[in-house]
Amino acid sequence: MTESNRELVILGVGSAPFDALLEILEERNTVTPAQLKLVVGDEVEADPQVFANRSIAVTPLDEFTFSADQVLLLLSGGDTASAAVTKAEEAGAWVVDAAGISRGDDSVALIHPLLNAAALQTVERRVVAVPGAGAAMIAEALYPLKSQLKSVDVVLNQPVSALGKASVDAAAAQTARLFNGQEPEADEVTGQRLAFNHLSSAEALLESGHSVSELALVLELRRLLGESIAFDATINTASVFHGQLANLSAQLENPVELSKVRGLLTNGARLEMRERPSAQDAVGSENTLVGRLRSGLLGPAWVNFCAASDNLRKDVAINCVQIVHLLLKTH
């Protein structure tokens, strides 16, 4: 089967990263319009989508037939995604889960294209997962220090788009109402106001006080960086549409001069040093911005710094496209 005969099937039309993904696919010529297929749940109605100046039809899942020469990319979860995975696996297709439906399944390899793409050669199943946007960014930022990390405390400030397209629309509507002197309705997903607010948690808390997303972030970081590293994580939601920023407090195995840490971060893949990174600066960039590097006050082996990135374009769309490219080209 030649690469030109391979197809990319996307489930997740209208999801938060969908538009960015189509832009990257077109910019990098990863697939042609003829190679792109779009599917939706049987109960969903979706208009044709434009890709590379061509109209791409959207097909209900129950009318779509998978084959072994395809890669299925999941951008949205739920029962439809689970059904699509079953059909794709039965047909021998590859599945790339960017929706988190395989989280906790050890038979599904977690692949970050910059950090462990070689693992695609030895996976148990033809189903792989892409780390969440927060984990992808933080793992990149910490990777140059991986061999020296003992523990890391993460505070991730995620944007509204991390909650999904519905929350982006809700935040926009709330902003418009506030500017017009009207009281906005609470977001249905979080039960709170998203516009001009900063949420300590966007979801219900477990008995431990953590959220499911925080524990998932810890799990993914340990899978990417090593089970011996201790992690704790806090995820709050900032009142911005796109762009994420994490404050990282890392305890190293031994004290290291700050100049050496700076050198390691400066040479890290897809890392760009800035004096004061911001989420706004990161939007549109294909790099993770790192900065505010300083010695921690908890002890001589602690270092603090922050990382910022474009959560949709860079940490979902580009990572997905890189993995899809590898699968279409060599698998």
**Number of Cβ within a 10 Å radius of residue 208:** 8
Structure tokens at 111: 């692949």
Q: Is the pLDDT of residue 166 over 70?
A: yes
When pLDDT is averaged across residues 30-38 and rounded to a whole number, the result is: 97
More confident of the two residues 44 and 281: 281
Cα separation, 142 vs 240, in Å, equals: 24
144-157: pLDDT as tens digits: 999 999 999 999 99
pLDDT of residue 314: 97
Q: Is the pLDDT of residue 43 over 80?
A: no
- Which SS3 state, helix, strand or coil, does residue 205 take? strand
285-312: pLDDT as tens digits: 999 999 999 999 999 999 999 999 999 9
Q: Is the pLDDT of residue 3 over 70?
A: no
φ and ψ at residue 228, rounded to 5 degrees: -80, -10
Domains 3-131+316-330 and 135-311 belong to one CATH topology? no
Percent of the chain with pLDDT strictly greater than 90: 92
For the chain, give every domain's residue range.
Answer: 3-131+316-330, 135-311
pLDDT of residue 1: 43
Q: At what angle do helices 319-330 and 18-27 cross, to 10 degrees?
A: 50
Q: Kindly report the CATH number that applies to the domain delimited by 3-131+316-330.
A: 3.40.50.720
223-270: pLDDT as tens digits: 999 999 999 999 999 999 999 999 999 999 999 999 999 999 999 999
Cα separation, 141 vs 288, in Å, equals: 7
Cα separation, 75 vs 95, in Å, equals: 11
**Number of Cβ within a 10 Å radius of residue 91:** 14
pLDDT of residue 104: 86
Handedness of CA 57, 86, 95, 210 (dihedral sign): positive
H or E element, residue 171: helix 165-179
Q: Is the pLDDT of residue 46 over 90?
A: no
Task: Indicate the average pLDDT of the chain.
Answer: 95
CB 217 within 8 A of CB 162: no
Predicted structure pTM score: 0.95
CATH 3.30.360.10 applies to domain 135-311: yes
Question: What count of residues does the chain have?
Answer: 331
pLDDT of residue 188: 84
The three-point CA angle 72-162-164 to 5° equals 65
